[in-house]
Chains A and B, each alone.
Chain A
Amino acid sequence: MSFSDAKWDAIVIGSGAGGGVAAAILAEAGMRVLILERGNHVPNQPVDRDHLRNHRLTQYGHNVGPSLHDLRGMESDGMVTWHNPLEWQYNNNAMGVGGGTSVYGAQAWRFKETDFRMASHYGVPAGSSLADWPINLADLLPHYEAVEKELGVSGGRGGDQSWPMPPTAATVKGERLAAAASRLGWETQAVPLAVNSVPYGGRPACVNCQHCVGFACPVDAKNGSQNTFLPRAMATGRAELRTGVQVVRIETDGLVATGVTAVADGQTQTIYADRVIVAGGAIESARLLLVSDIGTARDQVGRNLQGHYYAMAAGITADSVYDGVGPGPSVATLRWSHDNEGIIGGGMLADDFVLLPIIYAKRALPPGAPRWGQDWKDFVRENYRRTLQVMGPIQDIPTAESRVKISDHERDAAGMPRAVLSGVAHPESPRAQAFLLGKAKEWLTEAGAERIWGGVAGRYLSAGQHQAGTCRMGDDPTSSVVDAGGKVHGFANVWVADASVHVTNGGFNPFLTAMATARRTALGIASYG
């Protein structure tokens, strides 16, 4: 690693959903931007299709870092246990160029107005830190629209929206579920996906393969930071992307950041910049601010960690509902997103990606199904094509006790204090999950499924791939970390531009909101910062 002593206009830490957008906007505004990414490039070719080492099934590894030697703590009853990235307690997202967007499922949902107003709409349940966002849908709308166009989202028309591309391929199961929803009186729409249904952005259309979520796209038809915003930043000639570089500290002089100290290949160097934009994901961004003692005066950094509880139900139909046409998610209903009796919030429900056989065998067999032997073999052959799944993320209800802290004695290979997670979901989250699960089962029943199953989880720490909330935005510095413009309260030149700033995480996959918010933040920096 060697960086010149020249001062950058901005350093962006992390190249995922938030960092890519921010880098593109700042570079296009004329700034010299250095993007530091801990991971490496994720190749589209040769096609990596290891069914046991990917981001859908991380049985023995994954295809987008971090190193399996990395550890995070999980604190429970005052005891800390240490977990590697393959264990759920680590709450892995991804680590590579594009962050999770190179291998994600790419469901590109906007949050709805009520998603920004959870506290005032529903009230604040005891024991929760539920709050409204300081911005609303109208503030984000132009950014949602721009990101959908610049990233490339398929969806046709649906609800109150239209998307730049027609929907991705229809599926047999989707048609079956759409007809069932119609009989139930539930409105449905195509699932918006950041996947090219037609050639777009100089790249080809989806080839409808069976390996979408969890894998890089073999024809580069899945749109993420790595093939949209990052190349745009590079095209300005003012941005530089360095991979394999871990930022271990943001350097400060009083309440002003002066640059970052980074480690690569065992070498440490301080790099100077006028602005620092943190976009490492909700756990790593909080960890970096805590290590750097930035925004920590009110003990808010790292709190309100949240992801998504999922309602997931499956059933077995009388005949095949399988066509193997990828990506797979093709029909959704927003009927149960909000204003459900006795429930705070709710969530979207949709059908699933094409199930890989090993994932089917591990996760999608009904309770009581044969577990081995000839009966097992007969069962999977008979039922794989007849298995119908619907699922959806419910809006987690945040608590201040679900949080990221840093260890006072355990450090990683780069010498940086390790993250320690603690807390469990608020009881309202599994309650909403149970409600949405009931609706999922109702949908499957109407679609002709005979044997239906799916359960409710206990209370655990919800973070994982949809991790958010740890540097939430707000007008009041006593209950938030950044202001409505993404700038850390009290600091002159440090911004957070990833899902860490989400006050609530919506009853939807959150990446599009992370991108839209990062775009708004970056345009703010470009205009006044």
Chain B
Amino acid sequence: MPIFDILDFVPIEVHLRPRLRAAVDRIVPRDYEPGALDLKADEFIESLTEYADRYNAGLAKLPENFDLSSPEMQDSALADLESADPEFFELLRTQTIEGCLAFPSPLWDSMGFVVTA
């Protein structure tokens, strides 16, 4: 990889990653089946490096203790985020769902989508 690519590469900031993990975990929560965190939707989002700037700006709008809050508090904070920055929330919601459904997943099985050939 040329050096300038490394310098241009902007990851989601380390201190925001717990918020990302907690957010995807509420958008598609674990129940009797895996949720977004189990399905590594956060890693999928981190792999879309061209969106990192938007995540850094958007996740910063969640409360600092977001990842340590109760699920109810987290849902409420996500609803606040949706009101405050609907564009970012839609990105987060959409890419979390992509991370859960765009790849072979236990959710395919429970939805009833089976690849036969």
Q: What residues make up the interface of A, taking CB atoms closer than 8 Å to B?
A: 50-52, 59-60, 207-211, 218-219, 320, 322, 324, 356-358, 360-362, 371-374, 376-377, 380-381, 384-385
By the criterion of a CB under 8 Å from any partner CB, how many residues of chain B are at the interface? Answer: 29
**Contact yes or no, A385 B112, CB < 8 A:** yes
**Contact yes or no, B26 A357, CB < 8 A:** no
Q: What residues make up the interface of B, taking CB atoms closer than 8 Å to A?
A: 26-29, 31, 33, 35, 48, 75, 78, 93-94, 96-98, 101-103, 105, 107-108, 110-117
- Distance of A60 Cα from B105 Cα, bound (Å): 20
| 13 A–B contacts from the bound complex (CB under 8 Å) | A50-B102, A60-B48, A208-B116, A209-B115, A210-B115, A324-B114, A356-B113, A357-B107, A357-B111, A372-B97, A373-B75, A374-B29, A377-B35
Q: What are the residues of chain A within 8 A of B27 when measuring CB–CB?
A: 372-373, 376
- Distance of A70 Cα from B27 Cα, bound (Å): 35
Smallest CB separation, B70 vs chain A (Å): 14
- Distance of A17 Cα from B24 Cα, bound (Å): 44
Q: Residue B31 contacts which of A324, A377, A384, A385 (CB distance < 8 angstroms)?
A: A377
Q: What are the residues of chain A within 8 A of B26 when measuring CB–CB?
A: 372-373
**Contact yes or no, A320 B112, CB < 8 A:** yes
- Distance of A356 Cα from B104 Cα, bound (Å): 11
- Distance of A51 Cα from B101 Cα, bound (Å): 9
Q: What are the residues of chain B within 8 A of A211 when measuring CB–CB?
A: 115
Closest 3 A/B residue pairs (Cβ): A384-B111, A209-B117, A207-B117
Q: Which residue of A lies closest to B96 (CB)?
A: A372
Smallest CB separation, B71 vs chain A (Å): 10
Q: Residue B94 contacts which of A50, A51, A362, A381 (CB distance < 8 angstroms)?
A: A362
With A357-B108, A385-B112 in contact, do A208 and B117 touch (Cβ < 8 Å)? yes
Q: What are the residues of chain A within 8 A of B112 when measuring CB–CB?
A: 320, 322, 324, 384-385
Other than A373-B29, A380-B111, give 20 A-B pairs with Cβ distance below 8 A. Answer: A50-B102, A51-B103, A52-B102, A207-B117, A209-B115, A320-B112, A322-B112, A324-B114, A357-B111, A358-B97, A362-B94, A372-B97, A373-B28, A373-B75, A374-B29, A377-B33, A377-B35, A381-B107, A384-B111, A384-B113
**Contact yes or no, A218 B117, CB < 8 A:** yes
- Distance of A208 Cα from B117 Cα, bound (Å): 7
Q: What are the residues of chain A within 8 A of B108 when measuring CB–CB?
A: 357
**Contact yes or no, A209 B29, CB < 8 A:** no
Smallest CB separation, A460 vs chain B (Å): 21
